């Protein structure tokens, strides 16, 4: 029987689980999405392991095909769980199988910090050098409108903004922020270009 189970294809495939999220960020990543494809219809109980117990996030019949559920990072009493790593598990009631999904989910509620290191102006280009407390995207706002979001999440980096006008008597109000991988935003850092 064990040999037969090894040869049988997995009852779920194409698993995608959020790696990190922040249940307190009030952003797109305030829930952890769990997605997979179910090979056969079954009654599933999908849960998150919390301190040796399971927090059930779905308990229903699912058709063959894509399954999409989300976890809000809370325990059964509705309290936000502490930062840490949690593990999703799928119980297939009719198939009488339990599958531990290989992708852990990390809750991160700590806001990053960002520090402006230096600025350089050259014509219409403003180069900003910064560092962050953890891997995070740098965000630049000019007069309240976001004008830059870095693609990379380096802790020490620089980027260029081409909206600067050298010698402008009314320079824009600039604010620098960091957004970590979980979606937490730093405290805004206002500055004036050199």
Report pLDDT for 172: 85
Q: Do 163 and 4 meet the contact criterion of CB atoms below 8 Å apart? A: no
Is the pLDDT reported for residue 167 higher than 80? no
Report pLDDT for 58: 95
Domain ranges of the chain: 10-107, 114-191
Residue found by looking up tokens 């849960």 in the block? 47
Report pLDDT for 123: 80
Domains 10-107 and 114-191 share a fold: yes
**CA-CA distance, 95 to 42, in Å (whole number)?**
7
Q: What is the pLDDT of residues 9-62, one digit of tens each?
A: 789 999 999 999 999 998 989 999 999 999 999 999 999 998 888 999 999 999
Across the range 116-145, mean pLDDT stands at: 94
127's enclosing H/E stretch is strand 125-132
Is the pLDDT reported for residue 113 higher than 70? yes
Which CATH code fits 10-107?
2.60.40.4070
The percent of residues in the chain predicted with pLDDT above 90, rounded, is: 74
Is the pLDDT reported for residue 110 higher than 90? yes
Which CATH code fits 114-191?
2.60.40.10
Report pLDDT for 92: 96
Cα angle 77, 78, 84; round to 5 = 100
User: Environment class of residue 14 by beta-carbon count within 10 Å: exposed (0-12), middle (13-18) or buried (19+)?
Assistant: exposed
Burial 72-99 (b: 16+ CB within 10 A, else e): ebbeeeeeebeeeebbbebbbeeeeeeb
Is the pLDDT reported for residue 93 higher than 60? yes
Report pLDDT for 146: 95
The mean of the pLDDT values for the chain is 90
Report pLDDT for 7: 59
Could you tell me the two tokens for 40? 């056969």
Is the pLDDT reported for residue 171 higher than 80? no
Is the pLDDT reported for residue 4 higher than 90? no
117's enclosing H/E stretch is strand 114-122
């Amino acid at each position: 029987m064990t040999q037969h189970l090894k040869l049988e294809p997995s009852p779920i495939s194409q698993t995608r689980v959020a790696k990190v999220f922040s249940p307190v960020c009030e952003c797109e990543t305030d829930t952890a999405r769990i997605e997979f494809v179910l090979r056969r219809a079954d009654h599933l109980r999908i849960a998150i392991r919390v301190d040796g117990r399971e927090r059930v996030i779905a308990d229903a019949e699912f058709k063959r095909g894509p399954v999409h559920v989300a976890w809000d990072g809370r325990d059964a009493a509705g309290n936000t769980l502490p930062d840490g790593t949690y593990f999703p598990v799928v119980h297939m009631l009719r198939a009488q199988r339990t599958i531990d999904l290989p992708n852990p989910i990390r809750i991160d509620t700590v806001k990053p910090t960002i520090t402006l290191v230096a600025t350089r102006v050259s014509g219409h280009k403003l180069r900003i050098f910064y560092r962050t407390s953890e891997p995070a995207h740098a965000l630049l706002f000019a007069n309240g409108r976001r004008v830059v979001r870095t693609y990379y999440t380096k802790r020490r980096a620089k980027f260029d903004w081409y909206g600067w006008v050298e010698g402008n008597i009314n320079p824009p109000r600039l604010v620098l922020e960091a957004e970590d991988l979980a979606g937490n935003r730093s405290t805004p850092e206002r500055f004036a270009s050199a």
